[in-house]
Amino acid sequence: MRVDLPMIVLRFCRDLFRALIRSLANRADIAIENATLRQQLAAYQRREARPALRPQDRVLWRWLSKFWPRWQQCLVVVKPSTVIGWHRWAWRKLWGWKSRRKRGRPAIDPRHIAMIRRISQDHPEWGEDKIAHELFVKLGVNHSTSTIRKYMVRRLNPEDKSQRWLTFVTNHAKDMFACDFAVQFTATFRVVYVFVVMELGSRRIVHSNVTTQPSIDWVKQQIREATPWGETPRWLIHDNDAIYGQVGRKRGDATGRHYRCHLDQWLDKVMGIEGIPTPYAAPQANARCERFIRTLREEALDHFIFLGVEHVRRVVARYVEYYNRSRPSQATHAIPEPWPELRETPADEGELVALPILGGLHHDYRRAA
């Protein structure tokens, strides 16, 4: 068997060289590990309540985390996530310093800004698209709509181009009534309907009544009783209850007037009142009367077990009297139709007395003479 001596020597040299390199690498790794442990020990020796790390300590560990694979195994002072946080903080500071003069979109020509402000101030109804076309076609100034929107004159309500419903109700509250129904059950599970009519300006309940069989004729009679001696309002707000004789879409008559229900036609022809039905699924359009219905239910109806229709009528009538004459309204900061003695300036002295309302459910507080 022939032995290739040069090849054997070559392999021996190669293995010896690898062993030497491995030993040198292990020594370097051990040296780095010892240095890091010594550095952490020095940091512990400087601590008071906790290790006090200096900026150079943080720089060292940021550098080791990038170039040394075993840095996490030797880290004792802080968590590895803390070192990564230092590294990210340093990069944020670096890029913040580099971009300190290049933040945001560059400003446009001040003359163009003055043009945009002038046009948007002269024509508040114009949007950014129309202003952009005006500038580009006539003046040769080309900017994006987002840039133009940035420099337009700000308006409080840019979308509010017509009178809102709340504004209309507030301006004409003294000439406007509102009506609504509430449902109440008796002890024998009989359904009783409570009908109220409110004057929106003062929150005064001008009329209330109860029935077990509501109909369009009964509602007409209640409106007659609510407006005696021809003291009729200009508008009457109501919902879209079937009791009012709904006809679906608005239908016209021989005079060309259109009505949504038979009640509106009767109000217009007979009473001289314009009926305003609220939009479908929009109870907030009659919010003031709806709020009284909730108050009536929470402060009176929910506290009794009614024995019959007359029982409901007495409770509703007594509470309406208390509501109009003695109960301050939080909306108007006043009493809708106070008793004569409450219209005078209250006395400075006198013992406080409480007059019971509805068997002590509520109290009317006065000063004793």
Q: Both 118 and 92 in a single domain?
A: no
Highest mean pLDDT out of 28-32, 51-55, 91-95, 351-355: 351-355
Q: Are residues 137 and 202 in the same domain?
A: no
Cα 117–chain centre separation: 31
Domain assignment of residue 126, given as a range: 110-151
Q: What angle do CA 94, 98, 99 make, to 5 degrees?
A: 120
Q: What is the CATH number of the domain that holds 265?
A: 3.30.420.10
Confidence category of residue 1, pLDDT binned at 50, 70, 90: very low
Give the distance, in angstroms, between the CA of residue 23 and the centroid of all CA atoms in the same chain: 70
Residue 204 shares a structural domain with residue 270: yes
pLDDT value at 352 more than 50: yes
Residue 166 covered by a domain: no
For 193-222, the pLDDT digits (tens) are: 999 999 999 999 999 999 999 999 999 999
Per the structure, how many domains does the chain have? Answer: 3
User: How many angstroms separate the CA atoms of 88 and 4, rounded?
Assistant: 58
Average pLDDT over residues 25-38: 70
Pair (207, 274) in one structural domain: yes
Task: Considering only residues 323 and 96, tell me which one the structure prediction assigns the higher pLDDT.
Answer: 323
Asked whether residue 143 is assigned to any structural domain, the reply reads yes
CB 78, CB 53: distance < 8 Å: yes
| Domain match, 67 and 114 both | no
Q: What's the distance, CA 345 to chain centroid?
A: 41
- The verdict on residue 365 lying in a domain is no
Whole-angstrom CA distances from 122 to 129, 130, 138, 149, 164 are 16, 13, 17, 15, 24
Residues 189 and 187: their CA atoms lie apart, in Å, by 5
Helix (H, G, I), strand (E, B) or coil at 239: coil
Residues 6+ apart with CB under 8 A from 329: 203, 335, 336
Q: Are 327 and 301 part of one and the same domain?
A: yes
